[in-house]
Structure 1
Amino acid sequence: MMKSRSRWVYMLLMLLIGAFHILPFYLLFTTSFKPIDDLSSKWVLPETWNPDNFKNAWEQANMGSAFINNLVITAISLVFVVILGALAGYPLARVQTRLNKWVYNLFVSAMVVPPLTILVPLYKLVADLGGMNTYWAVILLHVTFQLPLSIFLFTGFIQTIPRELEEAAMVDGASRLGLFFRIIFPLLKPITATVMILTGIGVWNDYQFSVFFLQSSESQTLTVALSTFFSQYVSNVGWVAAGSLLSALPPIVLFLFLQKYFIRGLASGAVKG
C-alpha cells in the first residue's frame, strides 16, 4: 500500500513538473497563431488561426539571413568542439601523469569563468585582428569557451571504456591515432550526443558574443535579429511569438533526435571526472 501511494505521489509530482515546463511552450504556440485583433485570453486557443504571423515575422525580422548565419556558426563550432574535445579527452583519460592531471584541472576550472568578465579584452583582440562581423572570430570564441565542458565530459566517459579494447588493437599493429578513430571514437556516440546538445543549444542561443562581434545586418544571428524585431513590434505579440517559435525549433529538433543518446551519455559516467 505504501509503495503504491508513493508511486502515485511520484507520478503526480512528475506531471506537475512536466506541466510547469510545457506551459510556456503552449502559450508561445497559441499566441503565435493569434491575429492582432484577437483579444481572447492568452490561455485559450485562437478563435482564428493565423499562420501569416510566421511569414511576417520571417520577413520583417530578416530571419532568413540570420538563420543561415546561425546554422553556419553552430555547425562549424560543433565539429571543432566534438573533435578537439574527444582528442584532448583521450590522453587525459588514459595517461595518468601529474602534468595531465594539472591540465585536466585547468580545463575544469576554466568552466567557471564567465565570458562577460573578459569581454573588453576579447573585443579589443578581435577588433585588432580584423574579426568584427566575421564567422571565424565568433566560431573561435565559441569553441574556446565550449571546449572545457566538452573535454570534461569526454574524459569522464573514456575512463569507463575498458582498456582491453585498445590493447587488442595495438597488438594487431594499430597506431594510437588510428586506434582512437577506429575503436574509441565510435564508442563515444552517447557522450558525443550530450556534447552536441549542450554545445549546440549554447551556441545557437548565444547573444553576448553575437551582439558585440556581429553588428552588421548581414552577419546578425537570430538572437540579435529577434532582439531588434521585438523592440520594433512589441505591440504585435503574434509576430513576436511566431519569431520566437521559429528560432526555437532547431534546438528542439536536435534534442528530440539525440535525447536517447544524451540520457545514455549522462547515465554511463559522463560526469565522472
Structure 2
Amino acid sequence: MNRQSSSKKWLLTGLALVITAFHLIPFYILLTNSLKQMGDFTSKWSFPDYFNLENFALAWEQAGLANAFTNTAIITFSAAVLLILFGSMAAYALARRTTKLNKFVYILFVGVMVIPPLTALVPLYRLVVNFGLMNTHIVAVLNNVAAFLPLTIFLYAGFIRSTIPKELEEAAKIDGASTLKIFFKIIFPLLKPITATVLIISSVYIWNDYQFAIFFLQDSSVQTLTVVLASFFGQNGSQLNLVAAAALLASLPMIIVFLFLQRFFIEGLAAGSVKG
C-alpha cells in the first residue's frame, strides 16, 4: 500500500510539473523575444546571450503605456473596491437572513452567472450613449462591477455559510453591537481569504478586459492597456521584440498581485464554493 501511495504521489507530482511547464512556455517565449535586438532572427526558444533592456523603454514610449497603465489601474482598483464592499455586504445579508425573498435573489444572482456578458452589448451600448457616459472611467467601472457582482456574491456567501459561526454575531448582538458594526468589526476581517480570491479573479479579468473596453473607451485619453496593446501590435507586427516587451510590461502588475495573494487564493476559492 505504501509503495502504491508513493508511486501515485510521484505520478501526480510529475503531472503537476508538466502542466506547470506547459503554462510557463508562453512566458518564456515572451521573455526571450523581449530581450532580443531588432533584426535578431534566432530561434524564439533560444535565450539571448545579452540583455537588451532598451526594448522596454521604447515600447513604453511608443505605445503610450503610461497613460494606458493609469487608466487601467484606476478602473481596476475602483471596480475591485466596489465589488469587495458591496459584494461582501450583499452576501452577508443573503447568507444570514434565509427568507424566501433572499433565496430567490440569491438564485437570481447565480442564474445571471451563466449569461454571456456580450449578449447585453447592444442595449448596454444604447444606454451608455443616452446617459452620455461614453469614453469615461465611470462606464468601465460600473460595467465591470455589474459583470462580476454575481460571482462575488456567490463566493462570499458560500464562505460565510461554511466557515464563520453564527455564535460570533450572536455574542456581539448581546453586547449591543449594530448589524453594520458586527459586519465591519467582526465578519469582514475574517473574509480575508475569500477577499483575496475575489480580488485576484476580478482584477485579472478587469485588467485584461478588451471586449467592452474597445466599444466604450474609444478616445485615446481613456483607453486601457488591452486596447492600446492591440493597436500597438497592429502597427509593429514585424518588431516582435517591442511587442513582446510591451506585453510583458502589461502583465507584470497582475503577476505581482497574484504572487502576494496566492497563499490565500486556493483557501478562499475552495471554502467559498463549498456551499451555495
TM-score range, shorter chain: over 0.9
Shift of 1:97: 1.1
Q: CA deviation at 1:260?
A: 0.8
Match runs of 1:52-71 below 5 Å: 52-71=54-73
Is the contact made by 2:158 and 2:271 (CA closer than 8 Å) also made in structure 1? no
Q: Secondary structure at the match of 1:268?
A: helix
Instruction: Select the residue among 139, 164, 171 that pairs with 1:168.
Output: 171
User: Counterpart of 2:9?
Assistant: 7
Matched with 1:194 is: 197
Shift of 1:271: 4.3
Match 1:185 to one of 179, 184, 188: 188
TM-score with structure 1 setting the length: 0.98
Tell me the equivalent position of 1:96: 98
Contact 2:157 2:272 in 1 (8 A): no
Cα deviation code 1:129-171 (max 9, x no counterpart): 0101101111111111110000000110111210000000000
- The amino acid of 2:27's aligned partner reads F
* Equivalent residue runs for 1:83-162 within 5 Å: 83-160=85-162, 161-162=164-165
Aligned-partner Cα distance in 2 for 1:204–1:230: 18
Q: Deviations over 1:216-244 (max 9, x none)?
A: 11110000000000000000000000010
Note if contact 1:74-1:200 (Cα within 8 Å) is conserved in structure 2: yes
The one-letter code matched in structure 1 to 2:152 is S
Matches within 5 A, 1:20-31: 20-31=22-33
State the partner residue of 2:263. 260
Deviates more, 1:6-15 or 1:155-164: 6-15
CA contact (8 A) 2:91 2:156 kept: yes
AA of the residue aligned to 2:255:
I
1:68-108 deviations in whole A, cap 9, x for unaligned? 00000000000100000001000110011111110000000
Q: How far did residue 269 of structure 1 move? A: 4.1
User: Within 2, Cα distance between the matches of 1:131 and 1:220?
Assistant: 14
Secondary structure in 2 matching 1:159: helix
Structure 1 position 41 matched with structure 2 position 43: yes
Length-normalised TM-score, structure 2:
0.97
Task: State whether residues 68 and 222 of structure 2, in contact with CA within 8 Å, keep that contact through their aligned partners in structure 1.
Answer: yes
Aligned mates of 2:128, 2:272 — CA distance in 1 = 37
C-alpha deviations, 1:9-54, integer Å up to 9, x for none? Answer: 1121111111101111111111110112211111111133211111
User: 1:239 maps to which residue?
Assistant: 242
Deviations 1:163-210 (A, max 9, x none): 000000000000011111011000000000000001100110000111
The structure 1 segments of at least 4 consecutive aligned residues displaced by more than 6 Å after TM superposition are none
Aligned to 2:259, what secondary structure does the other structure show?
helix
Q: Which amino acid aligns with 1:9?
A: L
Is there any run of 5+ residues in structure 2 with no aligned partner, and where? none
Aligned AA (1:58): W
Q: How many residues are matched? A: 273
User: 1:35, 1:48 within 8 Å by CA — same for their partners in 2?
Assistant: no
